[in-house]
Amino acid sequence: MKKVAILTSGGDAPGMNAAIRAATKIGLARDMEMIGIEHGYQGLLAGALVPLSTADVADIIHLGGTVLGSARSTEFRERAGRDQARRVLTQHGIEGLLVIGGNGSLAGAAALTAPDEVGADFQTAVIGLPASIDNDVGLTMYAIGVDTAVNTIMEACDKVSDTASAHERTFIVEVMGRDSGYLAMSSGIAAAADAVLFRESGKSHDEIVSAVTDIIIRSRDRPRGRSRRVLIIKAEGLGIPTVKLKSELDAELRKRLGDEVGGSFESRVLVLGHLVRGGSPTASDRMRASRLANVAMRALIAGHTRLMAAWNPGGPIPPEIGFRSTDDPLCTLVKLEAVAAETAKLLDGSSPTTKRRARMFEEIADVLAL
């Protein structure tokens, strides 16, 4: 393999640069030509290919975002767009492509190499790397960016807790994650939230409003000071707009306690939004991104395609799903189709992983509530 391209696609995630750096250095050390594709599949369609040198990746491991730029491409979702992408890769003699991104980007990698779409002239091998703060990519325990995002949320919650404590107030903090509650659950434990609201718990709208109202009222039984702050972390995928939840909680408190006392509990809202996607990646994300890039590059060199390098420290991998990396015992290489199938189950709640995460969280939450 002599010429390998890298693209980052979809929502950027901290650690993407660490993956670009590691892959580029591994390729250059083997005298490969390394190419960066700017702005994901959109840039691929436009032929936005740039050479990557050691200098280009020398000082990027600590940077959030992606130095290659990213995009969500609607054109690439169509067959005609993918035909164009295959033409560009072939014209430029790209023998291997690393796709660094979340579930949409990895589904794109599968479609790009789908046997029913690919002609004999298309020879580019494609390996994916999971990178998405949402941790909603199937068959990998962690995606690149998750650890940094959890830390960012935890720090924001610690800070907002200062003012919440001073005023004995309730804050509803909305965190990203699309349809996945992973970020909310993990940061909820790390920031010692009083309640964490996420879609996978299966609780109804009314149950949520009633349970959170109980928690807020009971907070006044605690000693005055820091312990009276109420921190509610809400996943964006919950299905109740955060401002609506706030007004319903405020109304329920007034209904139960009267205008004067109930009104004194009025909550505040903090939507963290895209802030959660930014920032310098944690050591854990830099390390994971570098190791996954190593496994992915070595897979390309060994002649593999249509796989994703995944972080899977333990357990056997059924051969129909993939195999354990011989280069890094904590990583596996899993088939892109299997990733797509498991991702769908993660999101519709039928995956054992989703059930395990929600169950484990509920058990921990029960203990925390004591």
Active site residues: 134
133 lies in the site for ligand F6P, by CB under 6 A: yes
Judge contact between 95 and 63, C-beta under 8 A.
Answer: no
With tokens 């969500």, the residue in question is: 72
Q: Which stretch binds ligand F6P (CB under 6 A): 57-65, 170-178, 223-231, 299-307?
A: 170-178
Tokens 């890769």 label which residue?
89
* 277 binds ligand F6P, rule: CB under 6 A: yes
Q: Is 63 in the site for ligand F6P (CB under 6 A)?
A: no
Residues with Cβ within 8 Å of 284's Cβ and at least 6 positions away in sequence, in order, are 147
Whichever of 198 and 265 has its CB closer to ligand F6P, that residue is: 198
Q: What is the smallest separation between the CB atom of 198 and ligand F6P, expressed in angstroms? A: 13
Residue 199 makes contact with ligand F6P by CB under 6 A: no
Among 77, 87, 178, 220, contact with ligand F6P (rule: CB under 6 A): 178
Closest to ligand F6P by CB, 14 vs 177, is: 177
Q: Which of 5, 9, 11, 100 binds ligand F6P (CB under 6 A)?
A: 11
Considering only residues 342 through 361, tell me which ones interact with ligand F6P, judged by CB under 6 A.
Answer: none
> Smallest distance from the beta carbon of 319 to ligand F6P, in angstroms?
31
In the set 27, 177, 181, 188, which binds ligand F6P (CB under 6 A)?
A: 177
Chain centroid, CA 343 distance in Å: 12
Q: Which is nearer to ligand F6P, 299 or 310 (CB)?
A: 310
Comparing CB distances to ligand F6P, the nearer of 234 and 277 is 277
Residue 124 binds to ligand F6P (criterion: CB under 6 A): no
Instruction: List % helix, strand, coil for the chain (3-state, nearest 5).
Output: 50, 15, 35
77 makes contact with ligand F6P (CB under 6 A): no
How near is the Cβ of 101 to ligand F6P at its closest, in Å? Answer: 9
Name which of 132 and 267 has its Cβ closer to ligand F6P.
132
For residues 144 and 292, the answer to whether their CB atoms sit within 8 Å is yes
CA distance 18 to 25: 11
Which phi and psi (to 5°) does residue 307 adopt? -125, 165
Neighbours of 115 (CB within 10 A): 6
Specify which residues 127 forms β-bridges with.
98, 307
Residue 254 buriedness (CB in 10 A; 0-12 / 13-18 / 19+):
middle
**In whole angstroms, how close is the CB of 189 to ligand F6P at the nearest point?**
19
d(CA 247, CA 252) in angstroms, rounded, equals 8
Dist. CA 19–CA 57, nearest whole Å: 10
* 176 lines the binding site for ligand F6P (CB under 6 A): yes
- CA distances 256 to 53, 171, 195, 209, 240, Å, are 65, 19, 20, 12, 22
- The answer to whether residue 147 forms part of the interface with ligand F6P (CB under 6 A) is no
> If we measure between CA atoms, which residue out of 285, 297, 342, 328 comes closest to residue 132?
285
Task: Give least dist CB 146 to ligand F6P, A.
Answer: 11
Binding site for ligand F6P (CB under 6 A): 11, 102, 132-134, 176-178, 236, 277
